[in-house]
Structure 1
Amino acid sequence: MQKFLSSFHTALDYLEKATYAVVILLAGLLLFNTTLGMFFDHFVGESIPWTEEVNTLLFIWVALLGAGVIARYGGHIGVDTITERFSSPVQYGFKVLHALLALVVVWVMVQYGTQLARFVGKSQSSLYLDINMSWYYFAVPVAGLILGIFSIAYVLPDPRKKELNAQPD
């Protein structure tokens, strides 16, 4: 079991780094696109009509992918000042409850996000870029999968570390 957990967390390290790389790339493109739009608007005197669409698309992906990654460290819904007052087994119970609630949200994101992306993709495209709107909506199920994987990892101990993440005795 220790070897499996170690391999699982090692694979998650790679997934986390890859997701961070994508988020950094998209955030850089978001910054560049915003700067380009502001430059044209203020110095050239004409705004680029598609910059807002591109910014919206990039921001959706950056926000949702980033939210998925921080789940690995319990970075969502938490009241640490209250839970820290309990014993280690109770704290671990809160971690499990947190992960279970997150998995319910993940199921909704993946199930209905995929349906929405497919439905919208059949009939809608963006105004200026004329790209399929499913590119906007597929961020929801993709981020949901990442959120789910990292929510599970949040409660599983990492044998590569000396402490087992407040695992009960």
Structure 2
Amino acid sequence: MKRFVQALEKLQITVGVLFLTVFFVVILLQIITRYLGISVLWTEEVANYSFIWAIFMGAAVMVNRREHFNFDFIIRKLTGKKKVSLNIFNDLVLIAFNACILVLGIQVVREFWNYTWATIPEMKMGYIWIAIPIMAGTMIIYSVSHLMDHLKANKAKEVSE
């Protein structure tokens, strides 16, 4: 499971960096073309949608690394089995929350798949919205991996006691 999670994280980082690069290049293009008085209609839309993808991929990676903003004052005060139990509870809450996001995200993708971009009618909005279930699905995978680690740690605490 660890290798799969590492490979998945690497893929998400690559995709996120790719979309962040697209965002940066398109914004530069927009600045240059506005300065030159040239109207390029699609730059704002491409920048927005590439930023969405970059953020969603990065958010999932942050769940895996446990680097999101959190209140850890309770966790820092707990030790042993209590700390592991709270971590298990947190993982279960994350799994449940992301399962809801996954289901709702799939519904959104189905509903809006055939909508088109305003400036590039050949592009489907589904390509943007699919980032939501991908993010939620990978967050579930990362949380299950953490849960398995915490269950092993909990079992080790029981054996040592």
Q: CA deviation at 1:99?
A: 1.2
Corresponding residue SS for 2:153: coil
Q: CA deviation at 1:165?
A: 10
List runs of 5+ in structure 1 lacking aligned partners: 1-7, 158-163
Q: Distance in 1 between matches of 2:119 and 2:109?
A: 19
CA contact (8 A) 1:89 1:166 kept: no
1:41 to 31, 34, 41: 34
TM-score (norm: length of structure 2): 0.87
2:145 to 147, 153, 168: 153
Alignment of 1:31 with 2:24, yes or no, is yes
More helix by share: 2
Counterpart amino acid of residue 92 in structure 2: L
Give 4+ residue runs of structure 1 displaced > 4 Å after superposition: none
CA contact (8 A) 1:117 1:138 kept: yes
TM-score (norm: length of structure 1): 0.83
Q: CA deviation at 1:29?
A: 1.1
CA contact (8 A) 2:106 2:133 kept: yes
Q: Distance in 2 between matches of 1:47 and 1:73?
A: 42
1:128 corresponds in structure 2 to: 119
Q: CA deviation at 1:116?
A: 0.9
List runs of 5+ in structure 2 lacking aligned partners: none
Q: CA deviation at 1:16?
A: 1.0
Deviations 1:35-78 (A, max 9, x none): 11111112x11242111110111111111111111111223363
Aligned residues: 154
